[in-house]
Amino acid sequence: MYTIKVDAHTHTIFSWHAYGTVAENVAMAAKKGLTGLGIADHFGFPYQPLEDGIPEWTSIGSIRILPKEIDGVRIFCSVEMDIVDFEGHLCCYDRIHKATGKPLLDVYLGSRDYVVASLHTFDGYRDGTVAQNTAMYAGALRNPYVKILAHPCRPGVEFDMDEIVKVAKAEGKMLEINNLTHTDTPAAIDRCRKLAEKCAEEGTMIVVDSDGHCPWHIGRFDMALETLESIHFPEELIANRSLETFKAAIGMTE
């Protein structure tokens, strides 16, 4: 039986389709015995309202005003960035921050403890070949801000798992086994299992997340852990098995 102490990928009302406040999510994390909570609200086109073609950032941008620790739970400032093309670029990668003249993502992502990258939608994404989809995920993993590739096993986007597991290991990044993906289709569960098996073989770190969109889903890892238990996944490759191991995985020294 595994223990997960950090839920690294969760959402608050600032994702616009999630239903928990920070306080409600943290209270649930504390109640479930977690010692770390990653707030990773979306930054992507299908979610926030747009201003000059850029998703609304103000609400998630000020996250640093939160205490570092609330009720014994370490708060991690993250964001879930949409992948927007087959090269693995992140949303607004080519935009400039007006106030500073710097690349927008340097301004926005430089303030995060870590960045989660994931695919939701972009024009033509369902028509990608295996080679294109593999290049897309590899590109995202090579982005220096990105530490976690989230829910790669959702159905409909096939990629070369061997290659992505190797890229993640070489880059020192984590592949996510997402609890929510287990509610998609039985095939998605099989894909999670297959990816985990390959990570175990290669020695690639994974992170187990709830991707909770309401307080009641924070700290829910049951289905993901069942998958890992079914293949006797090596515990030492689960980055968020403790607060310390998770901090090490994101390169945090404090």
Residues that bind Zn ion (CB under 5 A): 80, 211
The residue (of 80 and 113) whose beta carbon lies closer to Zn ion is 80
- Closest distance between Zn ion and the C-beta of residue 182, in Å? 14
- Closest distance between Zn ion and the C-beta of residue 213, in Å? 6
| Neighbour-count burial for 85-110, b at 16+ CB within 10 Å, e otherwise | bbebbbbbbeeebeeeeebbbebbbe
List Cβ neighbours of 222 (8 Å cut-off, separation of 6 or more).
Answer: 179
- Closest distance between Zn ion and the C-beta of residue 150, in Å? 6
The residue (of 120 and 193) whose beta carbon lies closer to Zn ion is 120
CA neighbor of 18 nearest in space, from 211, 222, 223, 236: 211
- Closest distance between Zn ion and the C-beta of residue 203, in Å? 26
- Closest distance between Zn ion and the C-beta of residue 201, in Å? 27
One DSSP character per residue, 27-81 reads: HHHHHTT-SEEEE--EESTTTSPEETTEE--HHHHGGGGS-SEETTEEEEE--EE
The residue (of 7 and 80) whose beta carbon lies closer to Zn ion is 80
Asked if 170 contacts 200 with a C-beta cutoff of 8 angstroms, the reply is no
Pairing, β 146-149 against β 54-55: unpaired
Measured at CB, which residue is nearest to Zn ion?
Answer: 211
The residue (of 21 and 230) whose beta carbon lies closer to Zn ion is 21
The residue (of 61 and 103) whose beta carbon lies closer to Zn ion is 61
